[in-house]
Amino acid sequence: MSLAPSAYMADDSDIVARVLDGEHGAIARMLTQVERRTPAVNDLLAALHHATGRAHVVGVTGPAGSGKSTLVAGLAAAYRRTGRSLGILAVDPSSVITGGAILGDRIRMSDLGSDPDVFIRSMATRGALGGLSRAVLDGVSVLDAAGMDVVILETVGVGQAEVDVISVAQTIAVVSVPGLGDEVQAIKAGLLEIADIHVVNKSDRPGADRTVAEIRDVVRHSPHREGQWKVPIQQTVASSHEGIDDLMRIFDDHAAWLAGNGARTDSHRRNAATRIRWAAEELVLGRFRTGDTAFDAAVETVVSRQSDPVSAARKLIAGPIANC
């Protein structure tokens, strides 16, 4: 019988070794632990850390309807033809009202379905975007540790939080489509600075040339230093696989450029800094909540004017940091 939920008693004591072996079931459960932020997750991630830093992490972002999933599916097929293994994390928003979500990115990735060298995971934002950022970063690390040559992170580019998420990627592609009207506005609004490659997808549509021209204009007017990566604009029609192999080659060029310029190390350093900062926030803020005895006591001292907020905060931080 498959009334499965022996699931929750399952012995996952060897999960680290099995993730390192690239076993899909173990990777999947490790990602679930990352999403749920289980008590064990920090120790498990610590045990995986030594095996990370090898994958080329590519971020693909752009507005809803720009064809990102189809593009990612095409890229994945192109990477597979070069013999590389890959992990895909597809992030979609949860409903803020019910917390539910329909995660449909797999629909476009069906051809990859049962390839043992492709691992696809859909992630919902589950409300808290700060929490999502950590889950995504950790998710990328899990796929990296599992030995994936390439990890593709797909997000809907909207706000600052998404920009933070996509920034974990070493190579970032920002996808636009002709005819959305305000696409270049959206790019100006924050994605421009982080784009390593601009993709104009659905380039068989009318207006593609104009979109390319507009992006070229924006790229040209952004500050460019000597020796810096020149941001290319690649046109694609993901649905008929046009321009996808070229796009993959640009990603590879960018990876080579990063490696040649020490920029890859910079990217790792930036990533490490972000992660330490987030971990510190979690460690410290974990105790700063109603219900914690010391915190509640501090609140009372501030309300009764025995202390002030800054002094109370200093005193709490100076105290022992809980093991979380």
Partner 1 sequence: MSQTVSNREIPIRVMLAKIGLDGHDRGVKVVARTLRDAGMEVIYTGLHRSPDQVVAAAVQEDVDVLGVSLLSGAHMSIFRRIFDLLDALPEPHRFTLLAGGVMPDEDVEELHRLGVAAVLGQDTPPESIVETVLRMVPVRSR
The answer to the question of residue 286 lying near partner 1 (CB under 8 A) is no
Tell me the closest approach of the beta carbon of residue 213 to partner 1, in angstroms. 35
- Per CB under 8 A, 114 contacts partner 1: yes
| Per-residue contact flags (x/-) with partner 1 for residues 121 to 150, judged by CB under 8 A | xx-x-x------------------------
Nearer to partner 1, 100 or 320 (CB): 100
Q: Which stretch binds partner 1 (CB under 8 A): 74-82, 109-117, 161-169, 277-285?
A: 109-117
Q: Which conformational region is residue 123 in: left (phi greater than 0), alpha (psi within -120 to 50 degrees), or beta?
A: beta
Count of residues of this chain found to bind partner 1 when the rule CB under 8 A is applied = 42
Is 64 a binder of partner 1 (CB under 8 A)? no
Place of tokens 């993730």: 19
Residue 165 CB-half CA count within 13 A? 32
| Residue 34 or 173 having the CB closest to partner 1 | 34
Distance of CA 140 to the CA centre of its chain: 7
Which residues have C-beta within 8 Å of that of residue 111, sequence separation ≥ 6? 73, 77
Q: Which stretch binds partner 1 (CB under 8 A): 103-111, 189-197, 203-211, 260-268?
A: 103-111
Question: Closest distance between partner 1 and the C-beta of residue 20, in Å?
Answer: 15
Which of helix, strand or coil describes residue 28?
Answer: helix
Question: CA-CA distance, 154 to 199, in Å (whole number)?
Answer: 14
For 180-202, letters b (16+ CB in 10 Å) and e give beebbebbeeebbebbbbbbbbb
> Which residues here bind partner 1, judged by CB under 8 A?
1-8, 10, 23-25, 27-29, 31-32, 36-39, 94-95, 98-104, 106-108, 110, 113-114, 119-122, 124, 126
